[in-house]
Amino acid sequence: MKFSIPKAYTPSPDDLPSVIAPAGVEVNPSHLKLGDYLVKTFFIFTYPRYLTSSWFSPIINLTEMMEISIFFHPMDTATALRDLRKKVTQIEAELSEKEEKGLVRDPQLETAYQDVESLRDSLLQAREKLFSVAVYITLYGRNADDLEKVAQATQSLLESKLVYMKPALFRQIEGFTSMLPIGRDVLEIRTPLNSGPASSLFPFVSPDLSSDKGILYGVNLHNNSLVIFDRFSLENANSVIFAKSGAGKSFTAKLQILRSLMVGTNVIVIDPENEYQNLANAIGGSYFKISLTSPNHVNPFDIPLMPAGEEPADVFKSHVLNLTGLVKLMLGAITPEEDSLLDRVITETYASRDITAATFGEAKEELNPPLLEDLQIILQNTEGGQGMSQRLEKFVHGSYAGFTNAPTNVDIKNRLIVFSMRDLEEELRPVAMYIITNFIWNLIRSELKPRLLMIDEAWIMMKYKDSAQFLFGLVKRARKYYLGITTISQEVEDFLKSDYGRPIITNSSIQLLMKQSPTSIEAVAKAFDLTEGERELLLEAGIGEGLFFAGLKHVAIKVVASYTEDQIITTNPEQLLEAKGLGGQKT
């Protein structure tokens, strides 16, 4: 008995259509059924007298699932001139007839005569060419209602431009074939257009944020191009990221950090939930835990390094104002008299260590900065300051003393610095954010270099007037010091309710909006002037998807990470358990 060994299958070019083609197509008079989608093709058949260069932009930029095919068929100039000469003769005859009969002038006919003559002149002088243009729009929907909704929105948008489209009834298969990227105009429904109007159809108006330098933010969902952008090329390098919990905002922020470090930008992070620890450990960054029992301390009264070209007296005054805001945040509500007293007492606290506006510019090593307990002592011995001194007791000798009343001992000589506040009590987080951001600000002012400051859960600072005002001040002054501040928040309404929330947004050239909850979409839509389609996109967006605003441009974006990047920055519990070898275990 003989056995034949089967030969290995060898693919051939004939197999390609079977791989890329759908299993089948159901053809109906008004649409096609292609897999799980209904497909409907429309053609444009009427244009207005004038077409501006950007009239097609709203259609191309729609976030709906659609395909657009544009065919330009050059027309023979000699033939076109003969046809136009006949048209001119016809119009002149009509005008003469009306004049002979004494009828009222026909402006529409006169305008047509002028247009034809102008076009003849342009063709004869080779300033224009004539084309037979076909524009087909293919829309997709999960069901008939979705398809009709998209069709009505598209049709209304076109009609607002005085452009009209019709469905290719009984010719849907020809319309679908004309849409395929094979360059065949099977439908053949064309309109003659000269070069000017025809050029307005070119899809160069599609949002494109690809540049020669910068970092990769994601993939443009409009045209699948890469969104590569340099935030320092705008009027300021600030950005905001708004998204509901689990939408991917921290993942996006960490991806931006990783890619920014690769192009030479230093990054500082305020981390409220220990989400950035793996990233810091993976790339050798500095990670400091700020808590009541942590060995890492930041003294808010520390003497900052003197920025080049600035007067010591001005820096001292600014530092005192920042400390006044911090102490007010610790004390809560204070009277105007106490506010005035506090400013004077902070100056006296520095004077007790022989530090004045004149000596503030000396080498830091030669100065012995005070602590919070020094301020409390002076308050206790100042008329009208005893009440504030008692309210500071818990920060000086009480349960919060280890956090706010100790010398600075953190090493900030690293390209990535992360301050974690997860183990800090909720009521102390605004104080901690204020202290750390002030410390970071002093560091940034001391040396000019490209830096990013990422403030996660920024809504915590926006809940309190003094910390919100301080953050707004940072955002306004950041550009001067080559700094880009990224504020990240999931509590959009808390952020916007602050008097400083909206100014922070308007002072941020880059804005990234990801999936929003139905309860917050109204506030977001109003703040960013979103269209109905953009609102729907943010409500239905998947993880890592959203709207990316950069200056006057904005695109729908999907944030995509490589496998290695994903392993470094993920906070997905399932992935983390798998990385520890615990995946699949159940208890």
Q: Residues with Cβ < 8 Å from 205, sequence gap 6 or more?
A: 53, 54, 56, 57, 60, 61
Which tokens hold the place of 583?
Answer: 């995946």
Residue 240 lies in a domain: no
Give the C-alpha separation, 10 to 20, whole Å. Answer: 18
Q: Which domain holds residue 116?
A: 76-128
Q: Are residues 59 and 179 in the same domain?
A: yes
Q: CA geometry: angle at 426 spanning 397 and 284, to 5°?
A: 95
Instruction: Give the domain-ending residue among 385, 407, 429.
Output: 407
Instruction: Give 140-150 pLDDT, tens digit per residue.
Output: 988 999 899 99
* Confidence band of 365 (pLDDT split at 50, 70, 90): low
- Average pLDDT for 381-396: 87
Instruction: Give 43-77 pLDDT, tens digit per residue.
Output: 999 888 777 766 787 787 676 788 899 998 888 77
Higher pLDDT, 126 or 582: 126
Q: Are residues 120 and 196 in the same domain?
A: no
Instruction: Give the domain-ending residue among 375, 407, 439.
Output: 407
Residue 585: its pLDDT value, please?
45
Residue 587 lies in a domain: no
Residue 5: its pLDDT value, please?
63
**8 Å CB contact between 271 and 456:** yes
Residue 28 lies in a domain: yes
Question: Exposed e or buried b for every residue in 442-455, given b needs 16+ CB within 10 A?
Answer: bbbbeeeebbbbbb
Amino acid 534 reads E
Q: Are residues 325 and 386 in the same domain?
A: yes
* Confidence band of 587 (pLDDT split at 50, 70, 90): very low
The CATH number of residue 400's host domain is 1.10.8
For residue 385, pLDDT over 80 is answered with yes
* Confidence band of 572 (pLDDT split at 50, 70, 90): low
Q: Are residues 312 and 351 in the same domain?
A: yes
Q: Are residues 121 and 83 in the same domain?
A: yes
Q: Are residues 70 and 153 in the same domain?
A: yes
What is the tally of structural domains in the chain? Answer: 3
Residue 442 lies in a domain: no
Residues above pLDDT 70, as percent of the chain: 90
Residue 257: its pLDDT value, please?
93
Q: Are residues 109 and 46 in the same domain?
A: no
Residue 95 lies in a domain: yes
Q: Are strands 226-229 and 215-220 parallel, antiparallel or unpaired?
A: antiparallel
Q: Are residues 65 and 88 in the same domain?
A: no
Residues above pLDDT 90, as percent of the chain: 15
Residue 260: its pLDDT value, please?
93
Higher pLDDT, 94 or 541: 541
* Confidence band of 579 (pLDDT split at 50, 70, 90): low
Residue 577 lies in a domain: no
The beta strand positions in 390-458, using DSSP E, are: 416-420, 451-455
Q: Are residues 65 and 152 in the same domain?
A: yes
Residue 73: its pLDDT value, please?
86
Give the C-alpha separation, 369 to 34, whole Å. Answer: 73
Q: Residues with Cβ < 8 Å from 379, sequence gap 6 or more?
A: 345, 385, 386, 388, 389, 392
Q: Are residues 312 and 386 in the same domain?
A: yes
Residue 98: its pLDDT value, please?
74
Higher pLDDT, 196 or 516: 516
- Average pLDDT for 445-451: 84
Q: Are residues 140 and 64 in the same domain?
A: yes
Which tokens hold the place of 584?
Answer: 């699949």
* Confidence band of 123 (pLDDT split at 50, 70, 90): low
Residue 278 lies in a domain: no
Q: Are residues 171 and 112 in the same domain?
A: no
Give the C-alpha separation, 289 to 421, whole Å. Answer: 6
Residue 586: its pLDDT value, please?
41
Which tokens hold the place of 329?
Answer: 């945040």
Instruction: Give the domain-ending residue among 163, 187, 205.
Output: 205
- Average pLDDT for 294-316: 80
Mean of pLDDT over the chain: 82
Residue 108 lies in a domain: yes
For residue 408, pLDDT over 60 is answered with yes
